[in-house]
């Protein structure tokens, strides 16, 4: 088995070798910039880790793995245009460094590139397995990728739609973060298993593991916006509160609070003139008295446990599951 740093190195090397056309080099400058701008390469890493549960020849699927990373970076690029973000991982966004048209078009190109990487991997067929089984596995992987690429667009749409909705339900919210955050993780894991010719049941368990851990991670992100340690969290505390972002915390408090507290919360949501620290303090108080923190923490624990349960059921030896446990714990910043 390969270690996570080894796999990450292989991924970063492959990302640097993506084939582009010299003729139109200026189109690919923002593409390279966006892809080079770091990140933990979580999605290709998970795909290769999943594959590596069943097979050792991981280089055979490197193109499929980096397809996931190129796709992910495309979504960040276009999301930043739509959100009018300025910075991404400490550097100016593509639409700031170049311009909006360059961001739209280089994003489109990255989406097409991700599909070329996913669908045109000849190395995968250099293998002594039955060619028909290989074709079938690749077809399944591409189907899963289609589910991911379309689903993530749907999730982004729901997220934007929620901005102008007053009554987002918990279910709607969970559906949205499942599409926008979890789906790419769960599909990366599933594709890794599919390309390794694993049994469908194994691929589905890995999918569930990714889905649950992704949901838990997003809810924890919502929670840390309120209760996180600013030094550890990396973003300003209360940013979601100031922006009225419809997080699990806000949605659940609107649902659970007493009439009086709900009215107070709505008053803060409608207010246009306020000091940030006053709003953050008041809304946090409303979250506290409504018991939302406990509900959110419980939900996170449930989802985390469901993810671990899926992992437990996986039909591989326990030592092979450990890197996934470690991965999930590290993602959630937990000790155990």
Residues that bind its own copies (CB under 8 A): 21, 23-24, 26-27, 78, 81-82, 101, 104-105, 107-109, 111-113, 115-116, 119-120, 131-132, 135, 142-143, 146, 149-150, 153-154, 156-158, 160-161, 175
- What DSSP string describes 294-336? HHHHHHHHHHHHHHHHHHHHSSS-HHHHHHHHHHHHHHTT---
CB of 54 to its own copies, least distance (A): 23
Q: Which is nearer to its own copies, 1 or 82 (CB)?
A: 82
Token pair, residue 249, equals 């915390």
Q: Which is nearer to its own copies, 27 or 332 (CB)?
A: 27
CB of 213 to its own copies, least distance (A): 23
Of 176, 174, 147, whose CA–CA distance to 161 is shortest? 176
Of 264, 259, 256, 255, whose CA–CA distance to 285 is shortest? 264
Of 300, 233, 287, 283, whose CA–CA distance to 255 is shortest? 287
Q: Which is nearer to its own copies, 162 or 304 (CB)?
A: 162
CB of 163 to its own copies, least distance (A): 10
Helix (H, G, I), strand (E, B) or coil at 273: coil
Contact criterion met (CB below 8 Å) for 154 and 179: yes
Contact criterion met (CB below 8 Å) for 216 and 332: yes
Contact criterion met (CB below 8 Å) for 95 and 85: no
Q: Which is nearer to its own copies, 37 or 119 (CB)?
A: 119
> Helix crossing, 131-162 with 100-119: angle to 10°?
150
CB of 145 to its own copies, least distance (A): 8
Where b means 16+ CB within 10 Å and e means fewer, 140-155 reads: bbbebbeebbebbeeb
Q: Which is nearer to its own copies, 25 or 278 (CB)?
A: 25
Beta bridge partners of 87: 92
In angstroms, the CA 208 to CA 189 distance is 9
CB of 182 to its own copies, least distance (A): 16
Helix (H, G, I), strand (E, B) or coil at 1: coil
The CB-side HSE value for 243 (13 A sphere, CA atoms) comes to 14
In angstroms, the CA 330 to CA 115 distance is 30
Q: Which is nearer to its own copies, 147 or 306 (CB)?
A: 147
Q: Which is nearer to its own copies, 169 or 258 (CB)?
A: 169
Of 268, 329, 263, 256, whose CA–CA distance to 294 is shortest? 256
In angstroms, the CA 257 to CA 188 distance is 38
Q: Which is nearer to its own copies, 79 or 225 (CB)?
A: 79
CB of 82 to its own copies, least distance (A): 4
The CB-side HSE value for 260 (13 A sphere, CA atoms) comes to 1
CB of 275 to its own copies, least distance (A): 30
CB of 176 to its own copies, least distance (A): 9
CB of 29 to its own copies, least distance (A): 10
């Amino acid at each position: 088995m390969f270690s996570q740093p080894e796999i990450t190195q292989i991924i970063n090397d492959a990302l640097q070798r993506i084939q582009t056309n010299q003729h139109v080099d200026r189109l690919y400058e923002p593409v390279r910039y966006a892809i080079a701008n770091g990140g933990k390469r979580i999605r290709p890493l998970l795909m290769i880790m999943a594959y590596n549960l069943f097979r050792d020849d991981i280089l055979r699927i490197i193109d499929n793995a980096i397809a996931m990373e190129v796709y992910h970076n495309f979504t960040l690029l276009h999301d930043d245009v739509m959100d009018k973000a300025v910075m991404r991982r400490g550097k100016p966004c593509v639409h700031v460094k170049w311009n909006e048209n360059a961001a739209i078009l280089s994003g489109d190109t990255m989406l097409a590139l991700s599909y070329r990487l996913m669908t045109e991997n000849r190395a995968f067929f250099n293998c002594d397995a039955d060619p028909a089984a290989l074709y079938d596995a690749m077809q399944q992987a591409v189907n899963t990728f289609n589910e991911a690429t379309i689903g993530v667009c749907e999730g982004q749409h729901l997220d934007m739609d929620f901005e102008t909705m007053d009554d987002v339900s918990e279910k709607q919210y969970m559906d949205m973060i499942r599409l926008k955050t979890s789906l790419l993780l769960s599909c990366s894991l599933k594709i890794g298993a599919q390309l390794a010719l694993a049994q469908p049941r194994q691929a589905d368990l890995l999918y569930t593991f990714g889905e649950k851990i992704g949901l838990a991670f997003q809810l924890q992100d919502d929670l840390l916006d309120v209760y996180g340690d600013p030094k550890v969290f990396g973003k300003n505390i209360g940013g979601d509160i100031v922006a009225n972002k419809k997080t699990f915390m806000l949605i659940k408090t609107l649902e659970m609070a007493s009439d009086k507290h709900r009215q107070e919360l709505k008053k803060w949501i409608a207010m246009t003139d306020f000091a940030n620290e006053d709003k953050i303090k008041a809304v946090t108080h409303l979250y506290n008295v409504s018991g939302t923190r406990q509900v959110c923490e419980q939900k996170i624990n449930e989802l985390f446990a469901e993810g671990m349960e899926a992992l437990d059921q996986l039909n591989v030896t326990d030592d092979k599951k450990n890197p996934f446990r470690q991965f999930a714990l590290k993602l959630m910043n937990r000790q155990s």
